Structure 1
């Protein structure tokens, strides 16, 4: 009897359902997360690109309006631009606000070539320096650039209910109008255009979460259906193994009787 028990232990059936459950959970969860991250990242990159293009279009219009309605008239009237002069500042403020009216622009800052904010739609920032960093330096060299200012996410996931602020800051050179002056491509300063893209980002986050949930629902249904099939198959295999074991025992018993 002990030998039989040991024999049964040695041929204990492979637990197909347990193996399938563990491997399937890994196979389902990892691709779902990777797919969600990939799709949401593509959407965020596209949002970044479109918002940057939008800022560049605003900047082109802003450059033209500031140069033609502020720089030229101010130089002709005062001989130089001094934004500490309240009249000059007010004139520039009027030009900027009229130009960006109707556009999705949160704030406009104008840096001088020393990196100091000479004008801002938020007057509390006027006179500050060292805020633009690498992007400001690139703009002073004539290259436009953008950066996303955001607060906390993990691997692109923002599953919490608290809305997080997302701002896109674009730095564009303020240039002389080439068709008005002989000096080609002279840079007078730098525009910093800030857009609040929190709502668009939140929509992408909701889309990302919906992808995860829908994928999990579909994969879970598929998982349970396959698990039922595998469990049934395991039952059939176990039944046949038991039948084979009984036949082997009967055969061994018959051999012993014949001996």
Structure 2
């Protein structure tokens, strides 16, 4: 429980950093979208404002041209204005079109004082009554107005990129005073100008899109950089947490072994002395009963159990106080051959098969051959216990990256996952007899040689014990 609590406390500050990091990114993304929407609205208003100013200049120029080039000459020549007459209409059309030439004006409509269309690029609209609406009324009150009209699909309008954008401007048509052309006279009618500003609008929106897109790209790069930093930080924290847990486990194991060592050192002599007396007494009793001709197996049982108890005490001492290895040059393949020779009777009785896959030209290592012999012997005996009749053990020895690698692979049933997790736990055993210290003693022997031991299950069947021993200079 303490380990978990400490680990979680060390991770909490980093989780808080992660939360604020990703929250900040979300807020920044949201702010970018909001800013882009506000920019679109701002661009729309700026475009409308600038177009109104531009349209007012056009209307003022058109107003002047109509008065000077059409109305005055027509009144002088004909005495009255009748746009229904072809000659006057053509003159008006010529004046309007020549004035607005190259100004990208799509439609011009002129209303008289009675809200009747007197002139239009679309001749079918001439003569229509009450066609000006509210904007006409405002223009007659000397108030120029403009409105923006956009056409396109729903998605195009939603993302502020319409296919077509137009500005419609209503402005009063005034008579100029002869005293000064800059002074406006009474309102004679209303001029409606329709300008197509799609290209201008698209350029502005495109520029805005590039700006927003650049922001998103920068934000995306920032996001992935932060994500990489966060992931890297998580790995570092997890690695440090694992290292700390391993160190705590080793410390607890060392304390546990120290306690066992103190306990076994204190009681080993106390147990072995009376145990030796019991064993020798049982042997003497057996000799006397043999002389008297009495037949009983009790002395043999006492001797056998005394030996078993002495072996248990020896296991405790070997596990709690492992001996330092007596290093000298030796060859692993020779030690394995001695193990096989010793186990030959057991191998033949159970019809076991030993397969040796030994690489050539293996180097010598500095090791305690007696200690490695005992370690390999324990591993092979454990493997035999998992085999059935006609079982097989494959022993592989090879040199790899400065180390000798030994694999003991059997074709037994393998080791259950739950048992495999506890396999190095002291005193844990699945056998009816034994102390559960055998593998722990083997591990101590291997680690005393600066080696490592790993036990895994094979993908097909059986278990694999892999031992790695470094090759030192002899």
TM-score (norm 2): 0.46
Distance across 1 between alignment mates of 2:177 and 2:45: 33
Change (3 A) 1:202 1:213: same
Change (3 A) 1:198 1:184: closer
Structure with bigger strand share is: 2
Distance across 1 between alignment mates of 2:143 and 2:119: 21
Hey, what does 2:185 align to over in structure 1? Answer: 185
Change (3 A) 1:184 1:26: closer
Contact 2:110 2:190 in 1 (8 A): yes
Structure 1 residues 108-145: Cα deviation after superposition (integer angstroms, max 9, x where no partner): 11011222211012212212344433222211100111
Distance across 2 between alignment mates of 1:202 and 1:140: 33
Distance across 1 between alignment mates of 2:27 and 2:127: 56
**CA RMSD, Structure 1 to Structure 2 (Å):** 3.4
1:48-197 superposed matches below 5 A: 48-152=48-152, 153-154=156-157, 157-158=160-161, 164-179=163-178, 185-197=185-197
Aligned length: 248
Question: Highest relative contact order (Cα 8 Å, sep 6+), 1 or 2?
Answer: 1
| Residue 167 of structure 1: how far off its partner (Å) | 0.8
Distance across 2 between alignment mates of 1:139 and 1:193: 12
Contact 1:147 1:169 in 2 (8 A): yes
Hey, what does 1:28 align to over in structure 2? Answer: 28
Question: Unmatched 5+ residue regions in structure 1?
Answer: none
Hey, what does 2:220 align to over in structure 1? Answer: 220
Distance across 1 between alignment mates of 2:137 and 2:158: 29
Distance across 2 between alignment mates of 1:185 and 1:248: 98
SS in 1 for 2:105: coil
Change (3 A) 1:139 1:252: farther
Question: Unmatched 5+ residue regions in structure 2?
Answer: 260-474
